[in-house]
Amino acid sequence: MDLVQPLTWPEALAARAEQPDLLPIAGGTDVMVDINFGRRRPAGLLDLTRIDEIATWSVEDGIVRIGAGVTYAQVESDLAGLAPGLAMASRTVGSPQIRMRGTVGGNLGAASPAGDSHPPLLAADAVVEVASATRGARQVPAAEFYTGVKRNALEPDELIAAILVPTASGPQQFSKIGTRNAMVIAVTAFAVALHPDRRAVGTGIGSAAPTPRRAPEAEAFLAGELDAAGLWESRGELPDSVARAFGDRVAAAAAPIDDVRGSAAYRRHALSVMGRRAATWAWDEYRRAA
């Protein structure tokens, strides 16, 4: 098997364009499992781990730019304040070993409906920056990045360069249900982000549809209720009826299936509970921050 190890981002893009049959590898926590189990037999690997340009994060004009090669461990330790939903989700990924190797870019590359970074990226209105050697960079909103089960919007000559996440203007929450507390693929997951700066609410649903997706009606409902009752200003309590109705709308936005990890009915029920709880946690945090 060929192993190509570029040292710079332009070299990586050139290699991608010249040899699209090479499989990009970052942390390898998906790729190596697939190779070891014989699920993939790529002609070779395009190793992205030596490229400094994609291994760091920075903040500019209210946007956190997270290089595709930034690991979950970095997100946990560095970005809890700027991208709290993503940091919370990162803490639930695999084990410390997986979080030291696994990257957010790799989660997007794999595009599993159960990937834990997707719900908080959707809720935060994140944008995925992808690039090719010939056409340069383009930006794809996270909501348009997931195109099918384990499929994404990348062209064959493109690589993921970075994930652009607006810095949090309010509380964010992530909730994941699995059969145990660690080392578990989500049965279903949910993220919510409050955006008090523009009086909006963001959501992301994981593992309950062919792709990660938002719950737009739930978002509009909660933002509308908060507005109508003047709660953004008063920071009054979130009525339980509103939190429940929000949870119901989150569940209604899902299109789950029965599979080995859980039934569709269980996933829907779990989403209604997670929606209610996550909204209440986030709102209580907003109230405390007054």
Ligand X SMILES: Cc1cc2nc3c(=O)[nH]c(=O)nc-3n(C[C@H](O)[C@H](O)[C@H](O)COP(=O)(O)OP(=O)(O)OC[C@H]3O[C@@H](n4cnc5c(N)ncnc54)[C@H](O)[C@@H]3O)c2cc1C
Size of the site for ligand X (CB under 6 A): 30
128 binds ligand X (CB under 6 A): no
Q: Where are the alpha helices (DSSP H) in 165-215?
A: none
Q: Please tell me whether residue 286 adopts helix, strand or coil conformation.
A: helix
CB atoms within 10 A of CB 141: 14
For residues 20-49, which are near ligand X according to CB under 6 A?
A: 23-31, 33, 48
In one letter, which amino acid is 150? K
In the set 6, 20, 44, 94, which binds ligand X (CB under 6 A)?
A: 94
Contact 120, 142 (CB under 8 A): no
225 binds ligand X (CB under 6 A): no
Nearer to ligand X (CB atom), residue 89 or residue 243:
89
Chain-centroid distance, C-alpha 158: 20
Residues 154-183 vs ligand X: string with x where CB under 6 A?
x----xx----------------------x
Minimum distance between the CB of residue 176 and ligand X, rounded to whole angstroms?
A: 8
**Planar angle of CA 109, 112, 114, nearest 5 degrees:** 135
**Planar angle of CA 58, 60, 65, nearest 5 degrees:** 45
Residues engaged in binding ligand X (CB under 6 A)? 23-31, 33, 48, 68, 93-94, 98, 101-103, 105-107, 109-110, 115-116, 154, 159-160, 183, 185
